[in-house]
Structure 1
Amino acid sequence: MDRPVLDGSVPDHDEFPSQGPDATDPDADLRLELDQLRRAMRSRGTIDLARGILMAAFGLSQDDAWKVLVATSQHTNTKLRTLAEQVVDSAGGTPLPESVRKRLSAAVAETNAAADAQPQPQPQPQAQAQAQA
């Protein structure tokens, strides 16, 4: 970039190198995917621990704890791994940020309400007769 653009014209593409994977490198996408998978594997343990904390604290199932984490992450615009770290830290005494705490509480309440609204499976008449026999 030898010359500044002051006249409003758009400089040639070559003046601004691409910030993404190199189009001439056939392995760039694979390296990017590998990097993302490695990051996901590093954060998985923390996310699973946060799910366990939510399960124990609020009596949630594994699926419901996951739903609470995802909903809270989305509504607070917080990365899931960052939220999981905050939940784990909160179990050690570090307070959650107020906005996260409120949203987490709301997500737990919404998840419990949805679970309560689901019809419970009724036993089949044959199963009842066999159980009594």
Structure 2
Amino acid sequence: MRQAVDSHAKGDQAIGVLVAVHRIEPAAGVEMLREVSQHTNVRLRPVAGMVIDWALGEFLPPSVGRELEAALRRRVGAGDDSDQPG
């Protein structure tokens, strides 16, 4: 039960990071995390942790950064990339 609560909280925090940084809707943040998880073959919880760590100034693995950028482009189109992760 505790692991489920922690996992849910981590996912919510990562969605919040994506919403704040990229000015997207929460549903788009959820989909972005899912897509990154699927395209990198990394489970959702570790992807969420990487996004949170990135927001705190840590290194974002290049494969995850590329997939986040691609997922964002699919949602908002290619525009100003100054907010792009990586």
Shorter chain as normaliser: what TM range? 0.7 to 0.9
- Determine whether 1:89 maps to 2:53: yes
The equivalent position to 1:76 in structure 2, one of 23, 40, 43, is: 40
Matched residue count: 77
Moved over 3 A (4+): none
CA contact (8 A) 1:46 1:84 kept: yes
TM-score under structure 2 length normalisation: 0.83
User: What residue ranges of structure 2 are gaps of 5+ in the alignment?
Assistant: 78-86
Alignment of 1:102 with 2:66, yes or no, is: yes
Q: Secondary structure at the match of 1:60?
A: coil
Higher helix share: 2
Which residue number in structure 2 is paired with residue 51 of structure 1? 15
CA-to-aligned-CA distance 1:44-100 (integer Å, 9 cap, x gap): 111100000000111110100000000011000111000000000001111110010
- Across the aligned residues of Structure 1 and Structure 2, the Cα RMSD in angstroms comes to 1.2
CA deviations on 1:2-54 (whole Å, 9 max, x unpaired) are xxxxxxxxxxxxxxxxxxxxxxxxxxxxxxxxxxx543222111110000000
Structure number with bigger Rg: 1
Q: Where does residue 82 of structure 2 map in the other structure?
A: none
In structure 1, runs of 5+ residues without a counterpart are 1-36, 114-133
Q: Is the 8 A contact 1:67 1:111 kept in 2?
A: no
Q: Greater relative contact order (Cα 8 A, min sep 6): structure 1 or 2?
A: 2
Percent of matched pairs sharing the same residue:
36
- Scaled by the length of structure 1, the TM-score of the pair is 0.55
